[in-house]
Amino acid sequence: MSDKKYTEDHFIGMVAQTLSFISIKLCEYGYLLAFEKDLPDLKGLVQLDTISNADFELLETLNDPAVKVVVQSIHHVEDCLKNYMLINNLDEYEILDNEEYRELAADSFFAYIVECDGETYTDILNDLNGIYYNIYQLLYHTTRQLALKEMEIFDQVYDEFFEIVEDLLNNRLETDNKNVALLHNLIATLCADENLLEDIE
């Protein structure tokens, strides 16, 4: 366990980086789906690890219903990030270019977000449902870091998530923290998006 002391700036910056990571991961899955139907000619040519937040513009032009849900979720995450920057009076470029904040966010992101290896459209769609659930876990973990002002809380929070998940997904958890409330709302919004995937084959 690290003895490093973290400031409010560390926690605030980490959240912004976490939202950015989530946006990119959803974009990756949008492309994985698109490669199987709308963009087969690009399969094997586009390296997913080079995708950035700006690369979902091509996805917005596609008609695949699952891709449309993913794009909608990306917009929700990006809107949350913009609102987060506004209410905390942050400079987007300064925060998102900060390597220390990025590393703090990465510690939690890679603990929760599991790399899937679906090879067919149906497999990828099933993997996507798992990714949404991992995102809920990650965002809840992030809210607890904010509330407790502690970074290394994985053991404490992992089991706690399963006790409150129903209330979390229905946005019934109460908080006086404006940043936590914003993330709670995002979780419920993404859950509604995920529900739209149920009837897509």
Tell me whether residue 109 is in a domain.
Answer: yes
Lowest mean pLDDT among 16-25, 55-64, 105-114: 55-64
Kindly state whether residue 133 falls inside one of the protein's structural domains: yes
Instruction: Taking residues 25-38, report their average pLDDT.
Output: 94
Q: 3-class SS at 2? A: coil
Q: Is the dihedral of CA 146, 150, 152, 157 positive or negative?
A: negative
Percent of the chain past pLDDT 70, that is, above it, reads 98
Residue 50 pLDDT level (bands cut at 50, 70, 90): confident
Number of domains within the chain: 1
Q: Is residue 3 domain-resident? A: no
Question: Which domain range does residue 96 map to?
Answer: 8-199
Asked, for residue 81, whether it belongs to a domain, the answer is yes
* C-beta separation of 14 from 98 below 8 A: no
Contacts of 62 (CB under 8 A, 6+ apart): 34, 38, 39, 68
Of the candidate ranges 107-111, 115-119, 174-178, 195-199, the one whose mean pLDDT is the lowest: 115-119
Question: Is the CB of residue 1 less than 8 Å from the CB of residue 152?
Answer: yes
Kindly tell me if the per-residue pLDDT of 61 is higher than 90.
yes
Please name the residues in contact with 144: beta carbons below 8 A apart, sequence gap of 6 or more. 153, 156, 157, 160
- pLDDT for res 1: 45
Q: Are 82 and 53 in contact (CB under 8 A)?
A: no
Q: Looking at the predicted structure, is the pLDDT value of residue 32 above 70?
A: yes
- The vertex-178 CA angle with 177 and 183, nearest 5°, equals 100
Q: Evaluate whether residue 65 is within a structural domain.
A: yes
What single-letter DSSP state applies at residue 185?
A: H
Q: Mean pLDDT for the chain?
A: 93
| 1 within some domain | no
Whether residue 2 lies inside any domain: the answer is no
Q: Is residue 175 part of a domain?
A: yes
pLDDT in tens, 127-176: 999 999 999 999 999 999 999 999 999 999 999 999 999 999 999 999 99
